[in-house]
Amino acid sequence: MLPVPGSNHQVLVIDDFMPAPHQLIEYAVARQQPPSQSPVYPGLRSPTPPGYLKYAIAAINRAFQREKLTARVSTGEAYFAMVTRTTEELTLEQSMPHFDRPLLNEYAIVHYLCSPAFGGTSFYRYKPTAQVAITRPGLHTYQQNLAQHLLAYPVEPGYINGDTPLFERVLQVPCEFNRAVIYPCALLHSGDISKQFIPDLNPYTARFTVTAFVR
């Protein structure tokens, strides 16, 4: 478990997450159904095999138990995900750290099926309010404060990968093939994608992952 500085939150890292990770890539490539665009994710997504989520939930619960955590998960959804958007195509929301849901008892998973060269995941603190997690009680404050500060510090399109006037990187988890990073959905985070990123539509050579949400 990795502590998130400035908070009581933790990030779980599980290496060798799946027993046959290359077969997952082959499954995604062999699917006849084309992947779909996402209005939030900067790329393409498609469903994982039916057994993926069941195995992932069991692995996460074992890790929670090993770490002596009371949290348990039992359901969720999982997708293959491939970043395909250029810097110029990103929205404002995709150019800043984000939270998935304002909930600490639901968890996001990033499972890397790509080279470490594509970068891992970082977690951020919103400097004006010192928030690292956006929960329902603090959501309105965060949204109002962010809107005001964006007038003074406008964000240009581009993948965030480090400190900015509004956000401070407090934790960085490197990418390793078949590594899973599990964290509460409310944490501010972003993929560590370089400014030189070139989109690649080949799952064997692209920034290819599984993104999942469990609860």
The 10s digit of each residue's pLDDT in 88-126 is: 999 999 999 999 999 999 999 999 999 999 999 999 999
Range of the domain at 201: 2-214
pLDDT level of residue 134 (50, 70, 90 thresholds)? very high
% pLDDT > 70, the chain? 100
Q: How confident is the model at residue 32 (pLDDT cuts 50, 70, 90)?
A: confident
* CATH code where residue 33 lies: 2.60.120
d(CA 93, CA 86): 14
Residue with tokens 């890539």: 25
Give residue 38's pLDDT band: very low, low, confident or very high (50, 70, 90): confident
Nearest CA to 82 out of 215, 208, 195 is that of 208
Look at the chain and report how many structural domains it folds into: 1
The pTM assigned to this predicted structure is 0.95
Question: Phi and psi at residue 85, in whole multiples of 5°?
Answer: -90, 140
> Per-residue pLDDT tens for 178-208?
999 999 999 999 999 998 899 999 999 999 9
Supply the pLDDT for residue 161.
95
At residue 144, the pLDDT reads: 97
pLDDT of residue 196: 86
124-to-18, 102, 133, 206 alpha-carbon distances in Å = 28, 15, 9, 25
